[in-house]
Chains A and B, each alone.
Chain A
Amino acid sequence: MAGASSWRQAGVGLVVPAVLIALWQASAMLGWVNPQVLPSPVAVVAKWVEYLLPLMPHDPATQSWLAWAFSGELIIDSIGSLYRVVVGFLIGAGLALPLGLAMGASQRVYDWFNVLIQMVRPIPPIAYIPLSMLWFGLGNPPAIFLIVLGAFFPVLMNTIAGVRQVDGIYLRAARNLGASGSTMFLRVILPAAVPYILSGVRIGIGTAFIVVIVAEMVAVNNGLGFRILEAREYFWSDKIIAGMISIGLIGLAIDVGMNKLNNHLLRWHRGLEN
């Protein structure tokens, strides 16, 4: 029952994209637009497949089959981008979480850091690009630095809010049961703050993904962001769009994964009955 209706929902959701793609293809076939400006969807898909597949024919002497299958440019680029996102996000969130917990739990820590954070927070990570290149040169380090910044603030702000909004009734009940100190923090305050923290994590990953593309356009010579900028220089508009589609697909995959993680960690949460 639920399965059938979710298939129907998915089917309904595909109608508008299908119509748009059909229109796009028609305008390309009828010659309404210059293919240099907007290549046809078929050309984009062909380019995407070419981008995905290995450049060289398989040579069993030098390379295992698996390594060959993953030697396509798109796969190398995607792994590069994802690596930077994951490392940057883990560092950023790893710094933000303890600070956020401390700031949420202690007014004194909050007072110490709040002014600084409120002043730094509005500066978009992109604005750090020149500094990041001065400090870290080219390649992964400046990109990861920017992603750390992008992931840090959403996780921090939501963690603070999450700890501060913990319902007093839980604290009272826990004190009544004899909880204090680290037990109170780890078993009551932290889990109660998890819904907020997770929504911060989600925003943080989204920001990290935006930042990685920009960082690669400027400071790195591989990755999806680098590739679509490179394609522009050669006027390969089909490859630009193929790269953009790849970014979209990876973003979607990350979101689906986050959703699954959310549902698992918050299986106790009232808003998520299914």
Chain B
Amino acid sequence: MSAAHIVISNVGKVFKTAERDVVALQDINLEIPQGQFVCLLGPSGCGKSTLLNAVAGFAPPTSGNIVADGQVVTAPGPERGMVFQEYALFPWMTVADNIGFGLEIKGMAKPEIAAVVDKLLKMLSLQDFRNRFPKDLSGGMRQRVAIARVLALDSPIMLMDEPFGALDALTRRNLQDELLRIWAELKKTIIFVTHSIEEAIYLADRIVVMTYRPGTVKRDIIVDLPRLRDPASAEFNALKRELGQLVMEEQQRHHNDELRMAAVD
């Protein structure tokens, strides 16, 4: 394995509210090698999206630091492209313009942008949607465009925040397979946030299970099942059972906390 591509050192994040301080992340240490597909798994409130946003540079940690591709992360940038659950496509731009926007910002010439866009439209089976607006696309198609938009940046790191969370089960599996195919081809380092245990096992090289408040690393597991993985296989299900227990412990803490908060109010 090559040297670590993303190094998360002693990262903590505290959200200050009027009533109290919420410790969203505490003492997170992760070293992610080049080309690894990592899933951050946990119930809502475990800080997995907070950690992803810190790596993206949207919300810097309150302690510790993150080094990505040799650079300390201080702000968002195209070297860490993000795919959002809400797609976040620009509705006033066509599919092709959305995909090419990052390159336009970089100042690339129009014919070159068109060539990259063509390649990506083909890679994600979007050729027929080139001049459509996002409103005319299904959720699955929109997320394909969002993935293409990040791939256009040609960044070595790809961040994904529950990207398939809003899709139906079949579209979701379809896009998971596409993502695995693209990842195998392009060798990106991927951090993928999900609360679906099955999705994590299906996709990841490595699963980081996080605890509910404060968010810490509860378990860090390497998944070495061969791909494409069969969700009906015994190994898959053994892992699913094990992870299910870990996640449900945290979910239970989340639930108890909600009840406690409600009682205080």
Contacts and interface: CB of A to CB of B under 8 A. Distances in A.
Interface string A162-177: 0000000110111111
B91 A269 contact: yes
B88 A178 contact: no
A264 interface: no
Interface in B43-97: 56, 58, 75-78, 80-82, 84, 86, 88-93
Given A172-B76, A172-B88, A178-B78, A268 B105 contact: no
22 contacts: A169-B84, A169-B86, A170-B90, A172-B76, A172-B82, A172-B84, A173-B89, A173-B90, A174-B101, A176-B58, A176-B82, A177-B149, A178-B77, A178-B106, A178-B153, A187-B101, A187-B104, A194-B92, A267-B133, A268-B135, A269-B135, A270-B91
Contact of B105 (A170, A183, A194, A269): A183
B92 A177 contact: no
B102 interface: yes
Interface string A246-274: 00000000000000000000011110010
Interface of A: 169-170, 172-179, 183, 187-188, 191-192, 194, 267-270, 273
Interface residues of B, number: 27
Given A169-B88, A173-B84, A268 B76 contact: no
Contacts of B106: 178
A191 B77 contact: no
- Say what secondary structure dominates the interface of chain B: loop
B91 A268 contact: yes
Contacts of B89: 173
B91 A177 contact: no
Most buried by B among A172, A267, A269: A172
Nearest to B153: A177
Interface string B167-179: 0000000000000
Contacts of A178: 77-78, 102, 105-106, 153
A177 B105 contact: yes
B92 A176 contact: no
Contacts of B149: 177
Most buried by A among B78, B81, B92, B133: B92
Contacts of A173: 82, 84, 88-90
B59 to A, nearest CB: 10
Given A176-B76, A188-B90, 5 more contacts: A172-B76, A173-B84, A176-B81, A268-B92, A269-B135
B86 A268 contact: no
A213 to B, nearest CB: 36
B105 A176 contact: no
Most buried by B among A173, A188, A191, A192: A173
A265 to B, nearest CB: 9
Nearest to B92: A191
Contacts of A187: 90, 101, 104
A175 B90 CA distance: 13
Contacts of A269: 91, 135
B101 A192 contact: no
Contacts of B153: 177-178
